Amino acid sequence: MQPTINPDSTVLVIFGAGGDLAWRKLMPALYSLFIDHWLPDHFAIIGLDLKQLSDDEFRQHLRAGVDQFSRRGKSDDAAWKTFAAKLTFVSANFADPAAYSALAERLGKQDHDWGGTVTHIYYLATPPALMDPIAENLSQAGLANDRARARIVVEKPFGHDLASARALNQALTTIFDESQIYRIDHYLGKETVQNILAFRFANAFLEPLWDRRYIDHVQISVAEQVGVEHRGGYYEHAGALRDMIQNHLMQLLCLIAMEPPVSFEAEEIRNKKMDVLRAIRPIPPDHVDRFAVRGQYGAGRIDGQPVPAYRAEPGVAPDSRAETFAALKLYVDNWRWQDVPFYLRTGKRLAERTSEIIIQMRPAPHQSFPSAVIGEWQPNRLVFNIQPAEGILIRFQAKQPGLNMRLGPEDMRFTYKEAFETESPEAYETLLLDVMQGDATLYMRSDQVEAAWALVLPILEHWAAVAPDFPNYAAGSWGPEAGDVMLATDSRRWLLPTFASRDPKTPDVEKNG
Ligand code: BG6
């Protein structure tokens, strides 16, 4: 991880610039970087898309996105005017080599005007099928050669399964050096996710507790209240396992389970995460149901409002087999974590929007206190709330005030909101600045992507072969009963999101429905 310095002169070329990602995420992030003075003086964005738009139409469209989605609220007229002057649009067919020679000419002219060393970033905000041909065309036009200055950013999904991810890696690495390829997992750019590294490795008190002797199990829950929204077409071919677990949740697991890095160099961090992926016990193909659960939401209520079943959403087949919920039990077979279960779950249309990692400690080895003084007894727990509460919590037993000895659980909380005056940057701000600076620490390396696919492969294959009994959970619940059963067989249960100002003394058993 580099100290943040302003990047060198940069041209960012966005393939698929007329799409949703550029509108909702990339442009609001770039605009924030601009108003916070992170962009170099010489900076330009060329948007490429099949759509026919003038520069002005493109700018107006993007401004509407910034106004709607930027964390800074509506754009300021004067600032937008200066920023918009950096944006141009080119209508292009990505399969047409002529589009790339025109791009090469344009970039050459820009480089000349700016006096030489300019970083060219090719951002592929396109469907996976287009990535290979775009890379090939960039190469043919001589745009991929400069190892130090030409970079390619690849959005997820990176492949559809292990074979397609391998094929894409193969295609990209015959053209680009691995150091030029930036595979995005936007969870890694989240401030609270980066803080897991800081909390674990910049503090000494955790390390002696951070293993199988003191930790009973780990729960990683990424719960969404939204349904599939307007993305039925994509989601039908993805499902929760591909969409969230193979990438975001696996990466969270890596950050919790990895060994202390020797340095914060990109390769060192990635190596340590790779060690975790290599240590995860493969799921036996004939026992998938013991380790993985899938679900799909039926109709239900969110915040008291009725919402439709997944199968009634636009772009979704009436007999769809796509899972909107997935839960996994994984083991990391190494000295530190042997036999400590890591429970992962994610789902759409769940009861709350919250992403939380709960480290559940083992109970105190001996209870010196008579049972009469213990109220609601719970083992210690450490909680990272990734969003929306953004914070860290430690639950511990405390003497309750009074003349008698009486114990009960209490929470010690750290929240970003209270601790810091400045707002956290969006994940895409961090990631875009990193690629401009040539820092790949928060990006995925080819071996990580493939290892994560290899781990979910037996589940994908089993689920493809066996028809599911969908829908099996109501929108607004905490997912299918089978998810609870998976933990109950281990004499455990999913813990309710801890951070959402719940009284620590209320028993945190989830109620479905
Ligand atoms: C994306 C998934 O990668 O992450 C979406 O494709 C999901 O389905 C989204 O909604 C969640 O991201 P965040 O940042 O809102 O938690």
Instruction: Fill in the amino acid letter for 436.
Output: M
Task: Give me the chain's average pLDDT, please.
Answer: 94
Of 158, 221, 244, which is best to mutate to test ligand 1, by the most ligand atoms within 8 angstroms of its C-beta?
244
Q: Which residue has the tokens 């775009």?
A: 134
CB within 8 Å of 315: residues ≥ 6 apart: 228, 230, 231, 232, 233, 236
190 CA closest ligand 1 atom index: 14
Starting from the edge strand earliest in sequence, which strands make up the sheet with 407-415, in order? 292-295, 325-331, 341-347, 215-223, 354-361, 381-387, 391-399, 407-415
The residue annotated as part of the active site, out of 42, 61, 217, 248, is 248
CB 487 within 8 A of CB 494: yes
Three-class SS state of 16: coil
Alpha helices of 242-348 — where are they, by DSSP H? 250-257, 266-279, 288-291
Residue 346 confidence class, pLDDT cut points 50, 70, 90: very high
pLDDT of 368 reads 86
Could you tell me which of 228, 324, 299 has the C-alpha nearest to residue 513? Answer: 299
The predicted pLDDT at position 4 comes to 59
Confidence of residue 472 (pLDDT cuts 50, 70, 90): very high
3-class DSSP state of 327: strand
333 phi and psi angles, rounded to 5 deg: -85, 85
- Determine the Cα–Cα distance for residues 268 and 281; give it in Å rounded to an integer: 23
Question: pLDDT (tens digit, 9 = 90+) per residue, 166-183?
Answer: 999 999 999 999 999 999
Residues 312-335: what's their mean pLDDT? 97
Q: Is the CB of residue 432 less than 8 Å from the CB of residue 439? A: no
Q: How far apart are CA 16 and CA 343, in angstroms?
A: 36
Residue 347: strand pairing partners: 223, 325
Is 60 exceeded by the pLDDT of residue 511?
no
Cα dist from 329 to 282, 510, 512, whole Å: 11, 18, 20
Q: Is the pLDDT of residue 480 over 80?
A: yes
Q: In 10 A of CB 116, how many CB atoms?
A: 7
CA–CA separation, 183 and 154 (whole Å)? 5
Could you count the other beta carbons within 10 Å of the beta carbon of residue 86? 17
Average pLDDT over residues 230-253: 96
Q: How far does residue 487's CA lie from ligand 1's centre (Å)?
A: 25
CA-closest residue to ligand 1 atom 10 = 224
Determine the residue of 248, 316, 385, 386 to mutate for testing ligand 1's pocket, defined as the one with the most ligand atoms within 8 A of the Cβ atom: 248
For range 310-323, the mean pLDDT: 97
* Range 193-200 contact pairs with CB under 8 angstroms and sequence separation of 24 or more: 193/251, 193/252, 193/255, 193/386, 194/430, 194/442, 195/384, 195/392, 196/252, 196/255, 196/256, 196/357, 196/384, 197/255, 197/264, 197/269, 199/384, 199/392, 200/255, 200/256, 200/260
- What is the spatial order of strands in the sheet that 119-124 belongs to? 87-91, 43-49, 10-15, 119-124, 150-154, 181-183
In angstroms, the first-to-last Cα distance of the chain is 44
Alpha-carbon Rg for the chain, nearest whole angstrom, is: 24
- Specify the ligand 1 atom closest to the Cα of 248: 3
Is the pLDDT at 513 greater than 50, yes or no?
Answer: no
What is the rounded distance in angstroms from the CA atom of residue 59 to the CA atom of residue 86? 10
> What are the tokens at 257?
């389970």
The yes-or-no verdict on residue 16 having pLDDT over 70 is: yes
The three-class DSSP label of residue 452 is helix
What token pair was written down for 433? 């600045």
More confidently predicted of 364 and 372 = 364
CA dist 88 and 97 (Å) reads 20
φ, ψ (nearest 5 deg) of residue 262 = -75, -35
Q: What is the pLDDT of residues 129-167, one digit of tens each?
A: 899 999 999 999 999 999 999 999 999 999 999 999 999
Give the model's pLDDT for residue 6: 78
Q: What is the pLDDT of residue 52?
A: 94
Tell me if residue 160 is catalytic.
no
Show the DSSP H helices in 70-177 as ranges: 77-84, 97-114, 131-140, 162-175
Going from the C-alpha of 200 to that of each of 205, 255, 511, the distances in angstroms are 9, 9, 32
- As to burial, measured by CB atoms within 10 angstroms (0-12 exposed, 13-18 middle, 19+ buried), residue 37 is exposed
Task: Evaluate whether 159 touches 165 at the Cβ level (below 8 Å).
Answer: yes
| pLDDT, position 508 | 63
Is 342 in contact with 218 (CB distance < 8 Å)? yes
The answer to whether the CB of 155 is under 6 A from ligand 1 is no
pLDDT tens readout for residues 53-77: 999 999 999 999 999 999 999 999 9
What residues does 181 pair with on adjacent strands?
A: 152
pLDDT of residue 502: 67
The answer to whether the CB of 243 is under 6 A from ligand 1 is yes
